[in-house]
C-alpha cells in the first residue's frame, strides 16, 4: 500500500446535454453529448515491461468528449434497440513514461546509477490507451408466446491503442488491438408466480478477440519456446470470453407475481 508516490485528488468537471423524443408511438429516440475533463488524473505507470509491475501516479489532465445515441421501437411482438456511441479520449498534458519496448522510445533521463533511461514522450492530444472510439449495440427480442421469448445482443467495438503506446507512435506488433463484434443469444419462459426458465449463449460464432492489452516483454519466443532468459517484445493481451452457454431456473421474490393461467 506504500508503493505509490503521494497522489493528488482527481477533480472532474463534466458537462452533458441531451434530447429525446418519438418518431411515432412505436419508435423512440434519444441523443446526448458530453465533455468530461479530469485534472490530476491517475494512470498506471509501468516500471518494468517484462513483468508488468509499476505504480499509480498523477499525469495531469485528460479529456473525454463524446456522443451517445439510441433508437428503440417495437413491431408487433418484436422489440428492438440500436445504440451508437463515440468517444474521443485524449491526454491533455505532456508527460514522459519509462518504456523499453516502444519502437519510438527515446532517452528521457538517467537512473540513480547514471545509466540512460529509455521512454516515450506523451503529448497533449494523444489518444488514451484502452478506450475504443466507436461502440455499437443492438438488442432484439421476439415474444413467440405471451410467456416465451427469444432474443439476441450484438456488440461491436472499434480498435484501441494498447498500453505502452500512450504516444500513439509505436509501429510494432500489438501497438493497436483490432476491433471486434460478438453475438449473444438468450431465451426465457415464464411459468408464472415468479418462476422462469432461461438459457443463454455468448459469442455464438466463437470469435477470438482481445478486450485489452499492453506492449511488454516475454522470455518465450513467438512459437512458445523458452529462450534461455533472453527477453523479447511481446503483445500481452486479455482474451475475450469464448463460446459458452448456460441453462437455469430463476425465481423472483419480493414483489407481485404473475399467476399462470389455467
Cell of 142: 421476439
Residue 259 resides in a domain: no
Cell of 217: 516483454
Residue 5 resides in a domain: no
Q: What is the pLDDT of residues 174-214, one digit of tens each?
A: 999 999 999 999 999 999 888 999 999 999 999 999 999 99
Output the pLDDT for position 262.
44
Residue 90 resides in a domain: yes
CATH code of the domain in which 116 resides: 2.40.170.20
Q: What is the pLDDT of residues 54-63, one digit of tens each?
A: 778 888 999 9
Residue 1 resides in a domain: no
Residue 144 resides in a domain: yes
Number of domains in the chain: 1
Q: What is the pLDDT of residues 79-129, one digit of tens each?
A: 999 999 999 999 999 998 888 889 999 988 877 777 788 889 999 999 999
Domain limits for position 82: 11-251
Residue 104 resides in a domain: yes
**C-alpha distances in angstroms, 173 versus 8, 166, 255?**
35, 15, 54
Residue 258 resides in a domain: no
Report the alpha-carbon distance of residue 3 to residue 58 in Å, rounded. 14
Of 32, 33, 34, nearest to 14 by C-alpha is 34
Q: What is the pLDDT of residues 162-172, one digit of tens each?
A: 999 999 999 98
Residue 163 resides in a domain: yes
Q: What is the pLDDT of residues 67-82, one digit of tens each?
A: 999 999 999 999 999 9
Residues 162 and 215 sit within 8 Å (Cβ to Cβ)? yes
> Does residue 153 or residue 119 have the better pLDDT?
153
Output the pLDDT for position 104.
93
Residues 100 and 79 sit within 8 Å (Cβ to Cβ)? no
Of 118, 117, 116, 115, nearest to 101 by C-alpha is 118
DSSP 8-state code for residue 143: E
Amino acid at each position: 500500500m506504500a508503493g505509490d508516490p503521494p497522489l493528488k485528488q482527481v477533480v472532474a468537471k463534466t458537462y452533458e446535454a441531451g434530447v429525446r423524443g418519438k418518431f411515432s408511438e412505436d419508435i423512440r429516440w434519444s441523443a446526448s453529448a458530453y465533455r468530461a475533463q479530469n485534472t490530476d488524473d491517475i494512470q498506471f505507470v509501468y516500471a518494468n515491461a517484462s513483468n508488468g509491475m509499476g505504480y499509480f501516479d498523477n499525469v495531469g489532465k485528460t479529456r473525454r468528449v463524446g456522443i451517445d445515441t439510441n433508437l428503440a421501437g417495437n413491431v408487433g411482438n418484436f422489440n428492438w434497440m440500436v445504440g451508437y456511441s463515440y468517444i474521443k479520449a485524449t491526454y491533455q498534458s505532456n508527460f514522459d513514461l519509462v518504456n523499453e519496448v516502444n519502437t519510438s522510445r527515446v532517452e528521457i533521463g538517467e537512473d540513480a546509477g547514471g545509466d540512460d533511461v529509455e521512454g516515450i514522450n506523451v503529448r497533449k492530444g494523444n489518444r488514451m490507451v484502452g478506450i475504443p472510439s466507436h461502440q455499437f449495440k443492438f438488442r432484439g427480442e421476439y415474444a413467440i408466446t405471451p410467456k416465451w421469448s427469444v432474443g439476441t445482443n450484438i456488440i461491436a467495438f472499434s480498435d484501441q491503442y494498447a498500453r505502452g503506446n500512450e504516444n500513439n507512435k509505436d509501429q510494432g506488433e500489438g501497438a493497436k488491438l483490432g476491433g471486434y463484434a460478438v453475438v449473444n443469444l438468450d431465451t426465457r419462459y415464464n411459468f408464472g408466480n415468479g418462476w422462469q426458465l432461461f438459457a443463454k449463449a455468448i459469442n455464438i460464432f466463437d470469435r477470438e478477440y482481445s478486450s485489452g492489452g499492453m506492449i511488454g516483454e516475454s522470455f518465450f519466443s513467438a512459437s512458445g519456446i523458452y529462450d534461455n532468459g533472453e527477453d523479447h517484445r511481446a503483445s500481452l493481451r486479455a482474451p475475450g470470453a469464448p463460446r459458452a452457454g448456460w441453462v437455469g431456473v430463476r425465481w423472483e421474490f419480493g414483489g407481485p407475481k404473475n399467476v399462470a393461467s389455467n
